[in-house]
Amino acid sequence: MSRAHVLLVDDEPVVGELIRQALHRCGCKVTVAHDGQEALQVLARERISLCLTDLHLPSMSGVALARHVRRYYPDIPVVIMTETDSVATLRELLDSGVSDVVTKSICAVDLPLVIERNLHRHRLWMDEQKRHLRQLNEAYSDMLEALLTALETREREIEGHCERVTTYTMLLAEAVGVPHHQHPHIERGALLHDVGKIGIPDHILFKEGPLTAAEWEIMRQHPVIGYRMCMRVRSLQRAAEEIVLCHHEHWDGSGYPQGLRGEDIPIGARIFAIADTLDAMTSDRPYRTALSLEQAAAEIERCAGTQFDPQIVKAFLSIPASVWETLIEQLRTSKRLSPPADSPSVQNKAA
């Protein structure tokens, strides 16, 4: 417990000093706050192991503080000190989400035991939460794989495209400086960008000749279909908004389905558009062999300001060609070798 950093919140200086000394003697680092607002400032700037707070505080109650900590700092246990030992009050406090409740009459020598007990119990709880989260992530990954398999089984020509374009998207997102907390949504959106094609009739999706105007209207509904599918899954809703619905929008407003323009297009979709085009142009097609990276980069640069966000094009070009070439070659020789069939490339503006 010697490494524990306790935030002590109490508006009574004498009581607070006695508690501080007791915790200090057992090796704890103690930071004292005299009200809830001061405690929030400490939480924002320091790494706290446990919050020990009085129930009655000026400006913010101990319960309100505990709820704030539970919401924004779930790895910090909160112990509330109260002057009452009423069973009803104790039950109410525990039901509010605090880790423990102690009476202020508790002997100072017992406080370190309370701190150690709650730190240990909270660590066990956090470990359980992490284990549960890992299980959810595994189930989530299985669900994504099932969706991708369903899509690729139906449209064999795109096998491997989703993984390749996702890899390119994430490399470019890093270069652009997208905050890391947005990366999972962008990654999921890139993987599932064409999931809406599951809802396109076979006679249109697999038509060998040119599509009629009416058939194009149906084909261009696949972003909306995919968006509606993903919005039914809470963990995919951001991905649906970020990429699935908007992956065919163009910087100049000439894309679909909404005709969004400029920064009205989500950042994930603007990044994805370049990654998707790169994959389409550097992959073999039935009607041509893969273009070189140099050719693809020149075409992407030419369409900056029309199809693509100029700033993201700059970020794309800032990544050394050797990095892109190595990555393209690695993905080309991976287990999924088939080229993508459909991408909004500059030279072949498909659905």
Q: Which residue has the higher pLDDT, 1 or 256?
A: 256
- pLDDT, tens digit, for every residue of 163-215? 899 999 999 999 999 999 999 999 999 999 998 988 889 899 888 888 999 99
DSSP E strand stretches across the chain: 5-9, 29-33, 50-54, 78-82, 100-103
Read off the pLDDT band of 284 (50, 70, 90). confident
Contact at 8 Å (CB) between 275 and 309? no
Stretch 76-92: mean pLDDT = 79
> What SS3 class is residue 253?
coil
Name the pTM for this structure. 0.60
Residue 167 lies in a domain: yes
Between 47-51, 112-116, 150-154, 247-251, the lowest mean confidence (pLDDT) is in 150-154
What's the pLDDT at 177? 95
198/327 same-domain check: yes
Residue count of the chain, please give it: 351
Residue 136 lies in a domain: no
Q: Which residue has the higher pLDDT, 23 or 335?
A: 23
163/95 same-domain check: no
113/164 same-domain check: no
Kindly tell me if the per-residue pLDDT of 348 is higher than 60. no
Q: Which residue has the higher pLDDT, 161 or 85?
A: 161
What's the pLDDT at 339? 41
Kindly tell me if the per-residue pLDDT of 344 is higher than 60. no
Kindly tell me if the per-residue pLDDT of 345 is higher than 90. no
How many structural domains comprise the chain? 2
| Cα–Cα distance list, 227 to 57, 144, 240 (Å) | 47, 15, 5
Instruction: Determine the Cα–Cα distance for residues 243 and 248; give it in Å rounded to an integer.
Output: 9
Residue 217 lies in a domain: yes
Instruction: Determine the Cα–Cα distance for residues 193 and 266; give it in Å rounded to an integer.
Output: 14
210/326 same-domain check: yes
Instruction: Determine the Cα–Cα distance for residues 262 and 311; give it in Å rounded to an integer.
Output: 11
Percentage of the residues of the chain whose pLDDT score is greater than 90: 45
Q: Could you list the residue range(s) of the whole structural domain that residue 317 is in?
A: 155-332
189/310 same-domain check: yes
182/300 same-domain check: yes
Residue type, 82: T
Mean pLDDT of the chain: 85
Kindly tell me if the per-residue pLDDT of 271 is higher than 90. yes
162/100 same-domain check: no
Contact at 8 Å (CB) between 244 and 219? no
Task: Find the angle CA(7)-CA(69)-CA(97) to the nearest 5 degrees.
Answer: 110
Residue 342 lies in a domain: no
Kindly tell me if the per-residue pLDDT of 131 is higher than 70. yes
Read off the pLDDT band of 316 (50, 70, 90). very high
Residue 16 lies in a domain: yes
